[in-house]
Amino acid sequence: MILACIHLTIVIDDAGSGDLLFGVVIGAYNLDNDEFRYDVIDVKYFQLKLFQSKEYLNEATKIVFSLLNKMNILSTEDIFLCQGYLFEKAVDELRKKYVHSHIKTIKVIGKPQEYVELAYLDEIRNLGYNPLEERQDKRAKSFFHMMRWLRKNPEMIKYAKTGWPRLSKYSLFRSIIQKERRTRQKS
């Protein structure tokens, strides 16, 4: 009996980290068999208290390991991660557990990027938000489109990433940010 050794290549990417709405989708895509799985960093990690302590980095790392575990990845598999800041801790932790030379950071393109982007778009559509078609090319326009949607739907502000310091210059976010700061000071 001959056992074939299957070597897999997994690509991990994120979507939504620069958007105002929702958390961040992290997706893992297997280039060899087209398997795709994803999970979400909850928006609370991008709101003042947890954002300032960068807890989203720990959460991203947990999600990466969870996705790889669900995909039954061996320590010798190739794992390529988006070169963004969000995965810096995950890369370090992966290199401790897996073969160091098999963990690489790359610019993600093609199907892995498309799948994670579609997952993010599905998630924000589930909130009732209809994203701009050209959102990738026009980040600023997309940001203001989301902000206008939040003004019309103030009950959905709980799904906004309010941890960004620059948001305090917009009246829509001032009271929320002040409230988060007061809550944090009492803790």
DSSP string, 156-187: GGGGB-TT-GGGGGSHHHHHHHHHHHHHHHH-
Which tens digit of pLDDT belongs to each residue from 57-79? 999 999 999 999 999 987 788 99
Distance CA(110)–CA(103), nearest Å, equals 19
Asked if residue 96 lies in contact with residue 125, where contact means CB atoms within 8 angstroms, the answer is: no
The pair phi, psi for residue 182, each rounded to 5°, is -65, -45
Bridge partners (DSSP) of residue 36 are: 29
Which tens digit of pLDDT belongs to each residue from 136-148? 667 778 899 999 9
Domain-wise residue ranges, the chain: 9-186
| Class level of CATH domain 9-186 | alpha beta
Give the distance between the most distant pair of CA atoms in the chain. 70
Which tens digit of pLDDT belongs to each residue from 96-137? 988 778 999 999 999 999 999 999 999 999 999 999 887 666
What is the pTM (predicted TM-score) of this model?
Answer: 0.89
